[in-house]
Structure 1
Amino acid sequence: MVWSPVHIPDQSGRVALVTGASGGIGLETARVLAARGAHVLLACRSVGRGRAAAARVGGSTEVVRLDLASLDSVREAAALVRGRHERLDLLVNNAGVMFPPYRRTEDGFEAHFGVNHLGHFALTGLLLGLMTAVPDSRIVTVASLAHRAGLGVLDEDGARSSTGRRSLTAYGRSKLANLLFARELHHRLATAGAATASLAAHPGLSPTGLWHGDPPRFLRPVAAAGLRWLAQPADRAALPSLRAATDPRVPGGAHLGPSKLFESRGAPAPARSSRASRDMAARDRLWRLSEGLTGVRYAFPSAPRAAGASGAVCPVTGARA
């Protein structure tokens, strides 16, 4: 069976938050969830663009200001959501930057790593208390085919570097971090006995606003050719995220992407990933680094590493800033 939005179960009564929902894949993700009955929070850097997007999405929506380049903004957005809602069924960590026109975030982090990974790490931790007791709740983190270009060590020096603005490696490293985070989060949730699952998805190639940055000169003709021949529109590129968020047959910890043309386009299906993205030691190191850099500590214990080992299970209460 080829999966499509017609297979999405009724989402009435569910609350979903989609980051970067003012355009592109995030907008399409929000639109489909709202059409299936969910109340959708559009988390956007620009409230004006968010309101315009909400008008296009229709259904039951609200706009939340969220600038992932500012940990203060992340905390404010999370506090607003916690104040308005008692539960959150779906969190889609979709927003991102690629070759941005600035170098560092407000907190001094390399822009790709700060926005694409650290902002979402903090947001997820601060909202987790709304999710872990909600049956079938899911966190979907959007990765990329470019995670394979994420070479080098994920450490504090790299996180604070000012040299990654036009670097494919820096972008790839942030997307590798997305995959490592999604997998480690699911491992810790499962160990803690939470009702929430964590999954990853990538959109393949799509001519969205991400490509409006300033890519390295050598990449421009490659990107132009790839977008011309391999890319799919945003509504199709959103399908892996939508399936990860709503298909009960897809297990926690899964990674989905397009199924055709080297995973650049096609119906959503299980995706491949690099060996580095499956490194359990790297997952743990990234987690500890992210907690230290953001100041957000998740309230469940470290998971066991030995094969067959079982760790203590404690209630998961969310995170503290």
Structure 2
Amino acid sequence: MFLEFFYIFVNIFCKIKYVIIYYILGGKAILHDIFYRQYNRVELRSKSKHVAIVTGGARGIGSSIVKMLMECDMHVVIGCINTENAKMMIKKLREQGVVKGEASVLELNLKSLKSVSKFASLFNECHEYLNILVNNAGIMFMPYEETEDGFESQFAVNYLGHFLLTHLLLPRMFEASRRFTTSPRIVNVSSCAHEVSPIINFDDINMTNFYIEQAAYAQSKICLLMFSKALDRRLKRAGSNIQVITVHPGIVNTELFNGTLVKLLAPWVLTIFGKTPEEGATSVVFCCIDDSTENAGGSYYSNCFPVKCTQYADDVKTQEKLYNFSNELIKKYCSNDI
């Protein structure tokens, strides 16, 4: 009984500690966004015949990313769970005056590796190449839940589902590199939250021994960042010009914050100081299309310029261990040579 109460006390203490750390980190990130807001801009130049995928493209910054890429005259494929919402969003964009580009929708549930595999198969059947992959979809601060594949939900949605999706689509990106002069881009939407990630415990990747939702979210985001660097390194060794770039979009006032203390107790903070979805999407789109990112693979961006990530995220040995570990987790659906 004593040990049970002690465990509960320690868990509550750690959660409170993480909440405090997150607010300090968030405050620092907001100041960065305000100070560098003048640099957070992108020129939406024509990218006719280019094909892009945006996961989670029906809401939040995802819908703004879709809009901007359509304005570049691309064909944008939205991968999301609620396909009807995505179709309504596209209709609304047309009503708002977006006349360029094309958009289509395919169902994608990142909690299911089977769904990820099906999405990739359907895309590959319909498209011969892929210029831009934006791994944007994400969930935040979720209570403990395991997916049908047995993975903690934030790890699955924010990281592992995108890891599998990327590898299944690489052949189409190799084809794009042969057909176009500009380099294909894989843009992974991470977060400054990676800065407070615990050391990855590969023996308990689900954090079942001591689950704190804020820590699990941070881990999923550092995994995405480490994966970006490891994959970019492999692509360079293979002689590919595909660029893998990670982006922190900023503190963006979207429904991702619904249920958090700041949204419940002081929603005005995000309204006044947070970025709009369009401002959050800008850095992402910049990495997708700007000429200055033509050779920016392996970099971590915020407000449209490269910034430093944590020393742990830069650790090559851990990056390689994570990459190989993740390959084992998805081998039922994909055996890749990269």
Instruction: Return the letter of the residue paired with 1:75.
Output: S
> Number of residues paired by the alignment?
286
Q: Which residue of 2 aligns with 1:53?
A: 89
Q: Which residue of 2 aligns with 1:195?
A: 241
Picking from 229, 238, 247, the partner of 1:183 is 229
Q: Which residue of 2 aligns with 1:144?
A: 191
Deviations 1:90-116 (A, max 9, x none): 000000000235612221111111110
Deviations 1:33-65 (A, max 9, x none): 001100000111111112112223444110010
Q: Which residue of 1 aligns with 2:337?
A: 299
Higher deviation after alignment, 10-19 or 97-106: 97-106
Q: Secondary structure at the match of 1:92?
A: strand
Structure 2 counterparts to residues 258-273 of structure 1, below 5 A: 258=303, 268-273=304-309
Query: How far off its partner does 1:220 sit?
Result: 6.8
Q: Which residue of 2 aligns with 1:253?
A: 298
Instruction: Return the letter of the residue paired with 2:137.
Output: A
Q: Which residue of 2 aligns with 1:108?
A: 150
Contact 1:133 1:195 in 2 (8 A): no
Q: Secondary structure at the match of 1:18?
A: strand
Instruction: Return the letter of the residue paired with 1:271.
Output: V
Stretches of structure 2 that go unaligned for 5 or more consecutive residues are: 1-37, 95-100, 178-182
Flag the 1:49–1:248 CA change in 2: closer, same or farther, 3 A: same
Q: Distance in 1 between matches of 2:270 and 2:116?
A: 32
Check if 1:240 corresponds to 2:240: no
Q: Secondary structure at the match of 2:205?
A: helix
Contact 1:74 1:123 in 2 (8 A): yes
Q: Which residue of 2 aligns with 1:32?
A: 68
Q: Which residue of 2 aligns with 1:129?
A: 171
Stretches of structure 1 that go unaligned for 5 or more consecutive residues are: 259-267, 301-321
Instruction: Return the letter of the residue paired with 1:252.
Output: G
Q: Which residue of 1 aligns with 2:200?
A: 153
Q: Distance in 2 between matches of 1:128 and 1:220?
A: 38
Query: How far off its partner does 1:162 sit?
Result: 8.2
Q: Secondary structure at the match of 2:134?
A: strand
Identity %: 31
Deviations 1:224-245 (A, max 9, x none): 5752553110000011111111
Regions of 4+ moved over 4 Å: 219-226
Flag the 1:203–1:82 CA change in 2: closer, same or farther, 3 A: same
Structure 2 counterparts to residues 201-216 of structure 1, below 5 A: 201-212=247-258, 214-215=259-260
Q: Distance in 1 between matches of 2:172 and 2:265?
A: 43
Q: Distance in 2 between matches of 1:93 and 1:84?
A: 20
Q: Which residue of 2 aligns with 1:63?
A: 105
Flag the 1:298–1:111 CA change in 2: closer, same or farther, 3 A: same
Flag the 1:160–1:74 CA change in 2: closer, same or farther, 3 A: farther
Flag the 1:41–1:199 CA change in 2: closer, same or farther, 3 A: same
Question: Highest CA radius of gyration, 1 or 2?
Answer: 2
Q: Secondary structure at the match of 1:171?
A: helix
Q: What is the TM-score normalised by the length of structure 1? A: 0.83
Higher deviation after alignment, 184-193 or 249-258: 249-258
Query: How far off its partner does 1:271 sit?
Result: 2.2
Picking from 89, 94, 98, the partner of 2:136 is 94
Contact 1:179 1:200 in 2 (8 A): yes
Higher deviation after alignment, 170-179 or 226-235: 226-235
Q: Distance in 2 between matches of 1:27 and 1:154?
A: 34
Query: How far off its partner does 1:161 sit?
Result: 3.1
Q: CA RMSD of the aligned region, Å?
A: 2.1
Q: Secondary structure at the match of 2:105?
A: strand
Q: Secondary structure at the match of 1:276?
A: coil
Contact 2:130 2:175 in 1 (8 A): no
Q: Which residue of 2 aligns with 1:319?
A: none
Q: Distance in 1 between matches of 2:40 and 2:255?
A: 26
Check if 1:285 corresponds to 2:321: yes
Q: Distance in 1 between matches of 2:133 and 2:217?
A: 22
Query: How far off its partner does 1:186 sit?
Result: 0.6
